[in-house]
């Protein structure tokens, strides 16, 4: 029996940990046409882990799963007295991930991780399992995936503290002695309100059909705001709660 075969599971995993340094965030996740973020793909984690596990005689697999939360979230929107519903499945899974000494299967380590999955179709369970499995490997082998998010946040705060505060733009400004309106920003448009039958509604909370109704009825700044939101908001992943409007 060679020296590697004499190692227990803790010694094997320690050696594996020292050899797996970093996994890059190569997966681009699009939130919208303008927003995205980098994530670690499961395939990249497995590519880094599998040869090292083979080298040191470790076999890892999801030993047990437990569904902690399983629900269907229903959101409703109303337009022209017609109510439509959209169902989104949410699932939270606890996974016991086992790391086994292949030369002594009774020698193993169990790690518990959690994963959430959200999907409008049937992919919520798969997303939850993938997330839990991926992070079991990342945490067990202490794999780095990029910069420390806490350090990055602190850097942003320092920049904000040292950055002079700009004067807030008003709705109008002087150009060559004349008063001209400055273009509405999406943030400003989202806060614009319209009163219908004595009740105020925030334009940013309306769905596309409701915005079309506002555009057909309103004028001026309100109409401009509704058109801007209709054009820009639904390219992004803003998930404001939709409100119901008594049109008639």
- CATH for 41: 3.30.390
Please state the pTM of the whole predicted model.
0.54
Residues 183 and 231 in one domain: yes
pLDDT given for residue 175 in this prediction: 44
Residues 19 and 69 in one domain: yes
Q: Is residue 77 part of a domain?
A: yes
Residues 30 and 89 in one domain: yes
Q: Is residue 59 part of a domain?
A: yes
pLDDT given for residue 113 in this prediction: 94
Residue 139: closest CA among 52, 53, 17, 11: 17
pLDDT given for residue 122 in this prediction: 83
Q: Is residue 51 part of a domain?
A: yes
pLDDT given for residue 99 in this prediction: 97
Domain hosting residue 134, numbered range: 4-144
How would you class 103 by CB atoms within 10 Å of its CB: exposed for 0-12, middle for 13-18, buried for 19 or more? middle
Residues 9 and 107 in one domain: yes
- On the CB side of 29, how many CA atoms lie within 13 Å of its CA? 8
Please tell me the distance from the alpha carbon of residue 230 to that of residue 212, in angstroms, as a whole number: 8
pLDDT given for residue 158 in this prediction: 53
Residues 93 and 128 in one domain: yes
Residues 177 and 140 in one domain: no
Q: From first to last of its 248 residues, what are the pLDDT tens digits of the chain?
A: 566 778 999 999 999 999 887 775 555 554 445 555 556 788 888 888 999 999 999 999 999 999 999 888 888 777 777 888 888 889 999 999 999 999 999 999 999 999 998 888 888 899 999 999 999 999 999 888 765 555 555 445 455 555 554 444 444 444 455 545 567 788 787 888 877 765 677 877 777 777 777 787 788 888 888 888 878 776 644 444 444 455 44
Domain count of the chain? 2
């Amino acid at each position: 029996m060679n020296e590697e075969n004499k190692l227990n599971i803790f010694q094997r995993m320690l050696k594996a940990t020292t050899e797996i340094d970093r996994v890059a965030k190569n997966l681009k996740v699009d939130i919208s046409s303008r927003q995205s973020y980098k994530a670690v793909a499961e395939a990249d984690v497995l590519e880094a882990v599998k040869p090292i596990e083979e080298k040191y005689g470790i076999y890892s697999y999801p030993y047990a799963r437990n569904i902690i939360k399983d629900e269907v979230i229903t959101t409703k929107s109303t337009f022209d007295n017609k109510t439509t519903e959209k169902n989104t499945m949410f699932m939270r899974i606890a996974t016991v991930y086992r790391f086994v000494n292949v030369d002594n299967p009774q020698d193993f380590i169990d790690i518990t991780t959690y994963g959430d999955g959200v999907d409008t179709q049937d992919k919520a369970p798969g997303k939850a399992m993938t997330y839990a499995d991926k992070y079991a490997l990342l945490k067990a082998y202490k794999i780095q995936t990029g910069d420390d998010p806490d350090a990055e946040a602190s850097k942003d705060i320092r920049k904000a503290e040292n950055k002079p505060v700009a004067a807030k733009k008003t709705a109008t400004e002087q150009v060559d002695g004349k008063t001209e309106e400055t273009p509405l920003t999406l943030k400003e448009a989202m806060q614009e309100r319209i009163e219908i039958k004595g009740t105020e509604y925030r334009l940013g909370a309306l769905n596309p059909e409701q915005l079309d109704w506002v555009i057909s009825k309103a004028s001026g700044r309100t109409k401009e705001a509704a058109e801007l939101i209709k054009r820009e908001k639904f390219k992004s992943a803003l998930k404001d709660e939709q409100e119901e409007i008594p049109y008639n």
